[in-house]
Structure 1
Amino acid sequence: MRTHEAGAMHGDFASLRPAWLGVPDDVNALLPQLWAAGVERSDEGVLRVGGIPVGELADEFGTPAYILDEDDFRARCRAWARAFSGSDVFYAAKAFCSKAVLRAAVEEGLNVDVCTAGELAVALAAGIEPARLGYHGNNKSPAELRQAIELRVGRIVADSYNEIERIDALSAELGIRPHVMVRVNVGVEAHTHEYIATAHEDQKFGFSLVDGDAHEAARRIAASPNMYLAGLHSHIGSQIFDTSAFEVSAARVVRLFAGLQDEIDEPMGELDLGGGFGMAYTSQDDPQPPVDVAASLGKIVEAECAAAGIAVPRLSIEPGRTLIGPAVFTLYEVGTVKPVTLSAGASRLYVSVDGGMSDNIRPALYDATYSATLASRASRAAPALARVVGKHCESGDIVVKDEFLPADVAPGDLIAVPGTGAYCRSMGSNYNHVPRPPVIAVRDGEARVILARETVDDLLRLDVG
């Protein structure tokens, strides 16, 4: 049971903040690991991205707004593609989906993973070849499967016996033999939030390895003349910072892979280890560079394949949020500042911004942590413990739970929250009938809208009552 937010407010100053959050020597300093490469402070202390001051972005596009450093995103895609040269690297459309971003990912050498008809539609509108697409999801409808088969997407990841039956029947009807992978629940629990750990036994994804369902699912696909068993897929969770859990996961899925090779007529060609590698949201996070991840996973798979007596299959990997997450920050305008005096004489600044849980639900949903900085000016004021909150009618409407901001932060200031590229816009809502913010891409000193700001007219257009 999580403690109510108010319970964390009592005590002396030190007890109000987590142990990892130290009092900064310079409240204006930026931690490089939290920001896109093109983000910096000017000599006047104003945050800039790609050379453009955030004040100019706010004036032109309004706030709140998601700001994408496109060069940073493309560089991250290239880095993962190079590190896993010879393997297939998939960008997860669920993290953030737009035509411009999916197109950029493919241009930099990546494939795209989709899990709904909507994500597939965006990928197709972006001009992406269906062969570059993987289709995930635990409840793909017959219509979605029909479309995927008709388009000849690169692979369909089967998640249940019902799906295998649907794919089999549709493939026979259409006369098309799709590449199908089996999602294997390897029984490895990643050290992450329970809602984003996806390979422990008591959850909805995949076929259990322990009770033999994964083996049986693969056998059924291989036995059908209507489907081609392309390989096995496993995914143990998201926001993972080390590869130790992958060692156990790889050992188990490789053993299944090796066993199946002796039973099926056509050899499988691919092993997908999933991914979900972590990114830095705060100073406590220390993600590994892609080249280190690749080296570590390569050694693990080579060792397990050697032990199983099989050649290393073609690998695929899904880095997840680490591609798009750090490339984006959210720009807000401060509306009110409220100092709240707590017990033992300690106090906290409640800094209310013009967005909130409608543009970033993760702190309320996962107790996710974020950082923030005063973006529109430098300050000589002392650091003050602050909580950045939104404008919604919920006490849990918290954007940044714990952060040091200048004590003189005031209405009209701009606040920037880094690391909001993944699962913020894509999980956004219209709670309190607040329109969702735009996404602004900055590249080569120019800014352009890639997802437009919703308007009240957009909301009313759907209200046909």
Structure 2
Amino acid sequence: MFNSDCFNINEKGNLTIGGYDTTEIAAEFGTPVYVMDEETVRKNCRLYKQSIDNYYGGNGLPLYASKALSCKEMCRIAASEGLGLDVVSGGELYTAMEAGFPADKIYFHGNSKTREEIEYAVDCKIGCFVVDNIDELILLNKICDEKGTKQDIMLRLKPGIDAHTHDFIRTGQIDSKFGFAIETGEADQAVKKALEYKNLNLVGVHCHIGSQIFEVEPFELAAQVMINFMADMKEKYHVVLSRLNLGGGFGIKYIPENKPIKYDKYMEKVSETVRKACEERGLDLPYILLEPGRSLVGEAGITLYRICSVKTIPGVRTYVLTDGGMGDNPRYALYQAEYDAVIANKASEERTVKVTIGGRYCESGDLIQENLMIQQPETGDLLAVFGTGAYNYSMASNYNRVPRPPIVMITDGKPRVIVRRETYADIVNCDI
């Protein structure tokens, strides 16, 4: 019924997460509130770690793509599970450093890094930059020269793979703002340029073909393309690229119709392609990096809302209006993201009413989902939206000057706050 094993229905007919009654969470911490199950997050971390051990002989490292959910506690969890970290901004890097994350296991991505961010990351002595363009290559070399240091780098490449996902979250094809295209010769020239800089140490290449992908074939094809490129560069420039980052993008179950492949099966199939391609091209097996983000935290989270009103327009639709909305979850407004939801205090009842879930924000597009079947809604009910562990808190805003919700983590069956609720004072804190 639910998208994750961490959800259930108790004897009162209420939805539980991690064995804890969601109505009690709402009563104690208020709404809206993000809720995460720590056991599920850790289980997913271990699945990726074990996959590296099983299919690459331990010769690799999963990097938590922290843009999915960046906060200090998630950095601590990733570190304790032996993962590396993928950051895409100075703010995400600062969060990691404040949490005590090992700097040598941090990879800095992003297609438009500022000088200030690059300088900060170099000062932090992070493990690796994933360089996106020639301008960044030039600037990073200059900054390293000024600071008298040498920096490991990888190049982000576009393998030209269409991952059959939404246009806004497809990043591997040639028409993308990210990376160097292989098929145009741009990636070849980037390798040549990188090898000229004495302050940069080119250690590998990276690709990311998209997000919310349910097929394994695009990942296999991307791996084949990347291995061939690495072999070509070895033949042409006599450079051994020892690391291969195959990105993330593994799909999760947002709605019942989603049928994601088990993540270790992705790893198994892709590892077979990598090994075969290396053997054919005479390469040693590279150190394999992966970037799971959504698949680590997405299904482990829900958002709880209080229903403020139910508005039925005869012959048109029924609106269920909540105390949250696009400020805490903009994904439907941005690209019609799909979600499932139930009334948490009526979770055992049949879903009999088709509704559109709307929020409190002054925008007609402030919707969370349309044409969704839920239990009979009433003002005061508690609504639970599934699959909000990724890209909800991360993308939240203070639109209409509404404070962002807290994050409550269920640990060993008990709730604890890992990000407190914002206050009105927080909102005006930067005002002059």
- What is the TM-score normalised by the length of structure 2? 0.95
- CA deviations on 1:243-279 (whole Å, 9 max, x unpaired) are 2112322222211100112344552210111121110
Matched-pair contact (CA < 8 Å) for 1:351–1:389: yes
Which residue, 336, 352, 365 being the options, matches 1:396? 365
Distance 1:92 1:378 in 2: 32
Matched-pair contact (CA < 8 Å) for 2:152–2:200: yes
Distance 1:253 1:290 in 2: 21
Partner of 2:135: 162
Note the C-alpha offset of 1:151: 2.2
Which residue, 327, 337, 343 being the options, matches 1:368? 337
Distance 1:379 1:413 in 2: 14
Matched-pair contact (CA < 8 Å) for 2:250–2:263: no
Note the C-alpha offset of 1:109: 1.9
Partner of 2:254: 281
Note the C-alpha offset of 1:175: 2.0
Partner of 2:424: 456
- CA deviations on 1:174-199 (whole Å, 9 max, x unpaired) are 22111100000111121111111001
Note the C-alpha offset of 1:379: 6.0
Partner of 2:119: 146
Distance 2:61 2:31 in 1: 37
Other structure's SS at 2:304 match? strand
Q: Cα distance 1:382–1:331, how it changes in 2: closer, same or farther (>3 A)?
A: closer
| Equivalences for residues 278-427 of structure 1 within 5 A | 278-342=251-315, 348-378=317-347, 380=349, 383-407=352-376, 409-427=377-395
Matched-pair contact (CA < 8 Å) for 1:370–1:401: no
Note the C-alpha offset of 1:150: 2.5
Other structure's SS at 2:246 match? strand
Distance 1:381 1:301 in 2: 47
Partner of 1:12: none
Other structure's SS at 1:274 match? coil
- CA deviations on 1:333-392 (whole Å, 9 max, x unpaired) are 1111122222xxxx6321111100001100010111100001013565661111111111
Which residue, 209, 221, 238 being the options, matches 2:211? 238
Identity, in percent, stands at 38
Q: Cα distance 1:90–1:378, how it changes in 2: closer, same or farther (>3 A)?
A: closer
| Equivalences for residues 25-40 of structure 1 within 5 A | 31-32=1-2, 34-35=3-4, 37-40=5-8
Note the C-alpha offset of 1:405: 1.2
- CA deviations on 1:273-298 (whole Å, 9 max, x unpaired) are 11211101001111111220111111
Distance 2:371 2:344 in 1: 17
Matched-pair contact (CA < 8 Å) for 1:91–1:318: yes
Matched-pair contact (CA < 8 Å) for 1:238–1:320: no
Distance 1:370 1:160 in 2: 35
Other structure's SS at 2:299 match? helix
Note the C-alpha offset of 1:320: 2.5
- CA deviations on 1:205-255 (whole Å, 9 max, x unpaired) are 001111111111112212322111110101111111112112322222211
Matched-pair contact (CA < 8 Å) for 2:249–2:292: yes
Superposition misfits of 4+ residues, deviation over 6 angstroms: none
Aligned length: 427
- CA deviations on 1:310-343 (whole Å, 9 max, x unpaired) are 222111111221111111100001111122222x
Note the C-alpha offset of 1:39: 2.0
- What is the TM-score normalised by the length of structure 1? 0.89
The residue type paired with residue 384 of structure 1 is V
Gaps of 5+ in 1: 1-30
- CA deviations on 1:57-89 (whole Å, 9 max, x unpaired) are 111110000001111111111111111222210
Distance 2:20 2:220 in 1: 44
- CA deviations on 1:101-155 (whole Å, 9 max, x unpaired) are 1110121121110011100000001111110100001111122112222222111
The residue type paired with residue 344 of structure 2 is A
Matched-pair contact (CA < 8 Å) for 2:329–2:393: yes
The residue type paired with residue 164 of structure 2 is H
Distance 1:458 1:323 in 2: 29
| Equivalences for residues 33-48 of structure 1 within 5 A | 34-35=3-4, 37-48=5-16
Gaps of 5+ in 2: none
Other structure's SS at 2:428 match? helix
Which residue, 28, 42, 58 being the options, matches 2:26? 58
Distance 2:72 2:373 in 1: 36
Matched-pair contact (CA < 8 Å) for 2:329–2:396: yes
The residue type paired with residue 369 of structure 2 is V
Partner of 2:84: 111
Partner of 1:120: 93
Distance 1:153 1:216 in 2: 25
Distance 1:380 1:201 in 2: 49
Matched-pair contact (CA < 8 Å) for 1:348–1:384: no
Distance 1:326 1:61 in 2: 21
Distance 2:212 2:350 in 1: 35
Other structure's SS at 1:90 match? strand
